[in-house]
């Protein structure tokens, strides 16, 4: 009886610890989102106010303001999309749309779409797949593309003009597993940040982040999708 009570208390303690950790993550997520929402909302409000007040605004200035407003709205939509997707992936009742597909074809199609995307024009993109790669995988193709897209976006955000982004794959464990890698030659990740990069709302020091630091959800979404597939995702890096 004592052993059973001890075991029950241990399980209850672990469950409470998990709940407290999740609640802390949720509060941190809300704080970060509040911060990120404030900037585009303020910019939109200021732009609308300026357009109302300045009746004699010339066409060039009006177009610049409209472009700014369009970018801010796009940023808000992307943030809401990430929140919605993360919620779906963490819902155990949300089913994946699984298909049996050719892994090489999926990776090649994704890579060529990146090559055609103007935002990657200043990066050197490389694709390395085994010759005559034969690997059928049962996955949700749309969700797996989202994982790859989040990793490429992260590589783009933390690299600079002329840096390399590599997409590669290999078959491991006697053909039983497929390992996909996205590698970049960007600024790297500090050792103290590495254990946290897949946590919701976690972001490294903003002072080290060139340009837009993102919303801290992309890698958490990637991990949630991989978890739902019964897969694994991890990161290896060094500064520089």
68-113: pLDDT as tens digits = 888 778 777 777 777 777 777 677 777 889 999 999 999 999 999 9
13 or 187, which is more confident?
Answer: 187
Q: Considering the chain, what percentage of its residues have pLDDT values greater than 90?
A: 40
Distance, CA of 45 to CA of 116 (rounded, Å): 34
pLDDT at 228 over 80: yes
CB-based contacts of 189, cutoff 8 Å, min separation 6: 197, 204, 235, 237, 238, 239
Residue 30: the pLDDT is 65
82 with 166, same domain: the answer is no
Average pLDDT score, the chain? 83
Q: CATH no. for residue 18?
A: 1.10.287.130
Give the range of the structural domain holding residue 197, as residue numbers without chain letter.
99-228
Question: Tokens 């939509």 label which residue?
Answer: 77
Mean pLDDT for 42-57 is 82
Q: Which residue, of 25, 57, 89, is where some domain finishes? A: 89
103 with 62, same domain: the answer is no
Q: Which residue, of 61, 89, 117, is where some domain finishes? A: 89
Segment 164-195, tens digit of pLDDT: 999 999 988 777 889 999 999 999 999 999 99
Residue 207: the pLDDT is 46
Q: What is the pTM of this model?
A: 0.70
């Amino acid at each position: 009886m004592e052993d059973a009570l001890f075991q029950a208390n241990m399980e209850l303690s672990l469950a409470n610890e998990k709940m407290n950790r999740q609640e802390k993550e949720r509060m941190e997520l809300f704080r970060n989102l509040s911060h990120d929402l404030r900037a585009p909302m303020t910019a939109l409000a200021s732009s609308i106010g300026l357009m109302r007040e300045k009746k004699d605004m010339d066409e060039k200035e009006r177009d610049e303001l409209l472009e700014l407003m369009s970018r801010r709205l796009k940023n808000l939509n992307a943030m809401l999309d990430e929140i919605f997707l993360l919620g779906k992936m963490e819902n155990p009742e949300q089913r994946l749309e699984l298909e049996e597909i050719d892994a090489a074809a999926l990776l090649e199609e994704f890579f060529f779409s990146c090559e055609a995307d103007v935002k990657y024009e200043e990066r050197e993109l490389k694709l390395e797949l085994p010759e005559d790669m034969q690997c059928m995988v049962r996955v949700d193709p749309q969700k797996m593309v989202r994982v790859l897209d989040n990793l490429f976006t992260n590589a783009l955000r933390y690299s600079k003009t002329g840096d390399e982004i590599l997409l590669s794959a290999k078959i491991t464990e006697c053909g039983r597993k497929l390992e996909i890698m996205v590698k970049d030659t960007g600024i790297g990740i500090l050792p103290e940040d590495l254990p946290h990069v897949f946590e919701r709302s976690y972001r490294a020091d903003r002072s080290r982040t060139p340009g837009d630091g993102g919303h801290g959800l992309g890698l958490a979404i990637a991990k949630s999708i991989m978890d739902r597939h019964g897969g694994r995702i991890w990161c290896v890096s060094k500064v520089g």
